Chain A
Amino acid sequence: MSRAKKKHNAEDYLRMYRQMVRIRTFEDNANQLYLSAKMPGLTHMYSGEEAVAVGICEALRPTDRITSTHRGHGHCVAKGAEFKQMFCELLGKEEGYCRGKGGSMHIADQSNGNLGANAIVGGSMGIATGSAFSAKMLGRNEVTVCFFGDGATAQGLLYEVMNMAALWKLPVIYACENNGYSEYTRTAEIAAGSITARAEAFGIEAHKVDGQDVLAVNELTRKLVERCRKGEGPFFMELETYRYHGHHVGDINREYYRSKEEERDWKENRDPIIRFRAWLAAEGIATEDEIEAMNAEIKDDAAAAVEYALNAKYPAASEVDMHVFTDVKHVMA
């Protein structure tokens, strides 16, 4: 990693490391909740892709916005969410960020600019572009990042909104998390030609970056965000990454579509956390002991949040018909 290594950035680096470990730890606990049948429904793990969400969100302000996906826990943590409300949401409890109404696929800390995780693949592309539109219209110097997967590049909506974003110079960054698979299918089988060239066809500047290198992701995003604020957007980023688990937690036997060797190679040789940790130590930014202490603290935090969420209250039955409309308290009343 050949990056600006200034000592005064140490705090930023440590926060990036902490956020990546927080995501991994959150996911390990979520997976455990699923395996022990304590979590309702299914969930999609972000493990392996941490450097993407963290590298990008660390380049944003709390007032900047993001749109997330079905694989949204990582974006949610990276944009500033707390474990407690996240685990509560995962378990359908009242104190969850969406009062238990959204669950894993709709989890978001709205107060930190997260406009929502989305269970419709590609469903957030219009929303992200609209958010950039209103920022421009209202003269707010905010940037919106639209997260989506390689599989989502097949949705026509992307091309409609990129066209308008380019025409209207909107402050939006399209961040394609290319983890090599769309469910049980390889990207090569569902995406013709080059992904970045599609953005370029609209005159949108597009970059490809190693999504396992948090500093590379962060450095590029900082530049693009800065330029977005000056009215030079939109931009497109393709981040090469990998998901460690199955498509969702129930996708256990997956050798028919991807090999164990491939998984091992990514985990052992390209893990974003291991790589960054080694760099932190080599640069003298943190000692092994300090890193271990941080890991342990995060682990305890997560365990406490899980415990809290397991014991937390479900929403009252009377909530079921609330929040359908802004101006009707109970639609069934």
Chain B
Amino acid sequence: MREITLSQAVNEALAEEMRRDDTVFIIGEDVAEAGTPFKVLSGLVEEFGTERVLDTPIAEPGFMGIAVGAAMTGTRPVVDLMFGDFIYLVMDQLCNQAAKTHYMSGGKLNVPLVLRTNLGATRRSAAQHSQSLHALVAHIPGLKVALPSSAFEAKGLMKTAIRDDNPVVIFEDKLMYNDKAAVPEEEYLIPFGEAKVLREGSDITLIGTSSMVQVCQKAAELLSAQGISAEVIDPRTIVPLDEATLLGSAKKTSRVIVVDEGHQSFGITGEIASRINEKAFYHLDAPVLRMGAMDVPVPFSPALEDLTVPTPEGVVANARKLVAGEMLHAA
């Protein structure tokens, strides 16, 4: 099968959906001629024109609000938010408006919009351009949240997001834009709420999201060399979350580490860990472990930044302790 980059995959998904449905349009900063700073959207304005690929001023709350209103009245906007860190600027429009409109209208109004943005540290971009903020929006009822972990997922999830009648936030890992993966030429969609088992194993389950899927896979390889069989699962969407697959694996292996690049406290890892604790407690041989980003703003210095995100070696060390029966938090 041909291999394309994550960037190309997103670009293809958008182009295909825009060809299929005239009401889909893209709105954001430097999305047209510039094709975004990451060049993900290059070529789209040439095909679809500036009426469907709209450059905006640097006014995130403004264009987010326009997208919400446009989505409520017959179009399907794809809002491009240049960095995930800027999500704070659009929080009212996203969380008070888009997320609640369907509910508050008693089901009479829909907001079929996609907010595409990114996450991920270690790009030496400091505290305001490196955050992984998906937990903030996953907390708000009414928003779906997708976290593609490869070019293949990025394309299929984007197409599904655009066809979804609810607001969907997609976070791409900005360090993965040039990573290639096999992506079929034929059309495909990836349903929301279906986790993917990337590797089967029997001793421990590693649940990784987005950028951390690679980390878990690497860790599983290292563990396998040490005689430990790790299962690796990518939930792909955290809202909705495929609990059944996660619980099934937890019951099978009896040990789980959840790895995510958001801050560890009050985050995705805690949510998934506690669901497993609640629903698979008697099958577990060890506490479910959370591994998130350190609870500090992302530092600029390379000497510090690399310490703040989970690494394969860190996952391996924790997995070994769990498998060896060393209680990490001896009670």
Residues in chain A within 8 A of chain B (CB atoms): 40-42, 92-93, 98, 100-106, 118-123, 151-152, 154-156, 182-185, 189-191, 256-257, 314-315, 317, 319-321, 324, 331-332
Q: Is the CB of A92 within 8 A of B296?
A: no
Contact with A along B298-325 (1 / 0, CB 8 A): 0111111001100000000000000000
Closest chain B residue, CB of each to CB of A256? B33
In the bound complex, residues from chain B placing their C-beta under 8 Å from that of A120 are 85-86, 89, 128
CB within 8 Å for A320 and B296 given contacts A92-B303, A155-B58, A314-B301: yes
CB within 8 Å for A156 and B34 given contacts A41-B300, A106-B300: no
Which positions 19-35 of chain B face chain A at CB distance < 8 Å? 29-30, 33-34
Q: Is the CB of A106 within 8 A of B127?
A: yes
Smallest beta-carbon distance A234→chain B, Å: 22
Contact with A along B106-140 (1 / 0, CB 8 A): 00000000000000000111111100000000000
Distance of A93 Cα from B126 Cα, bound (Å) = 14
Smallest beta-carbon distance A298→chain B, Å: 26
Distance of A57 Cα from B160 Cα, bound (Å) = 53
Q: Is the CB of A332 within 8 A of B294?
A: yes
In the bound complex, residues from chain A placing their C-beta under 8 Å from that of B29 are 183, 185
Distance of A58 Cα from B200 Cα, bound (Å) = 66
User: B57's contact among A92, A184, A190, A332, by CB below 8 Å, is which?
Assistant: A190
In the bound complex, residues from chain A placing their C-beta under 8 Å from that of B240 are none
Smallest beta-carbon distance A314→chain B, Å: 3
Q: Is the CB of B33 within 8 A of A257?
A: yes
Distance of A314 Cα from B303 Cα, bound (Å) = 6
Smallest beta-carbon distance B120→chain A, Å: 13
Interface of B (DSSP majority class)? loop
Distance of A199 Cα from B277 Cα, bound (Å) = 57
User: A324's contact among B55, B62, B124, B295, by CB below 8 Å, is which?
Assistant: B295
Is B49 part of the binding interface, using a Cβ–Cβ cutoff of 8 Å? no
CB within 8 Å for A102 and B126 given contacts A120-B86, A152-B58, A324-B295: yes
In the bound complex, residues from chain B placing their C-beta under 8 Å from that of A319 are 304
Q: Is the CB of B34 within 8 A of A100?
A: no
Q: Is the CB of A321 within 8 A of B303?
A: no
Contact with A along B155-188 (1 / 0, CB 8 A): 0000000000000000000000000000000000
Residues in chain B within 8 A of chain A (CB atoms): 29-30, 33-34, 37, 55-59, 61-62, 85-86, 89, 123-129, 294-297, 299-304, 307-308
Q: Is the CB of B57 within 8 A of A100?
A: no
Distance of A119 Cα from B127 Cα, bound (Å) = 9
Smallest beta-carbon distance A36→chain B, Å: 15
Q: Is the CB of B37 within 8 A of A183?
A: yes
User: B304's contact among A100, A123, A182, by CB below 8 Å, is which?
Assistant: A100
Q: Is the CB of B307 within 8 A of A320?
A: yes
Q: Is the CB of B124 within 8 A of A122?
A: no
Q: Is the CB of A119 within 8 A of B126?
A: yes
Distance of A320 Cα from B295 Cα, bound (Å) = 10
Smallest beta-carbon distance A170→chain B, Å: 24
Distance of A217 Cα from B263 Cα, bound (Å) = 45
In the bound complex, residues from chain A placing their C-beta under 8 Å from that of B123 are 41
Smallest beta-carbon distance A114→chain B, Å: 16
Given contacts A105-B129, A315-B303, 14 further A-B contacts (CB under 8 A): A41-B123, A41-B300, A100-B301, A101-B299, A103-B300, A120-B85, A120-B86, A184-B30, A184-B34, A185-B34, A191-B57, A315-B301, A319-B304, A331-B296
Smallest beta-carbon distance B124→chain A, Å: 3
Distance of A182 Cα from B55 Cα, bound (Å) = 11
- Of A40, A122, A123, A324, most buried by chain B (CB within 10 Å of CB) is A40
Smallest beta-carbon distance B136→chain A, Å: 16
Distance of A91 Cα from B33 Cα, bound (Å) = 33
Distance of A118 Cα from B307 Cα, bound (Å) = 24
Q: Is the CB of A320 within 8 A of B294?
A: yes
Q: Is the CB of B128 within 8 A of A317?
A: no
User: A92's contact among B295, B297, B302, B307, by CB below 8 Å, is which?
Assistant: B302
Distance of A154 Cα from B299 Cα, bound (Å) = 28
Q: Is the CB of A122 within 8 A of B300?
A: no
User: B301's contact among A103, A121, A151, by CB below 8 Å, is which?
Assistant: A103
Closest chain B residue, CB of each to CB of A120? B128
A-B contact pairs, 10 of them (CB 8 A): A40-B300, A92-B300, A103-B126, A183-B29, A183-B37, A185-B30, A185-B34, A315-B303, A320-B308, A321-B296
CB within 8 Å for A317 and B307 given contacts A93-B301, A101-B300: yes
Distance of A326 Cα from B59 Cα, bound (Å) = 33
Smallest beta-carbon distance A277→chain B, Å: 35
Q: Is the CB of B295 within 8 A of A317?
A: no
In the bound complex, residues from chain B placing their C-beta under 8 Å from that of A315 are 301, 303-304
In the bound complex, residues from chain B placing their C-beta under 8 Å from that of A119 are 85, 125-129
Q: Is the CB of B129 within 8 A of A257?
A: no
In the bound complex, residues from chain A placing their C-beta under 8 Å from that of B129 are 105, 119
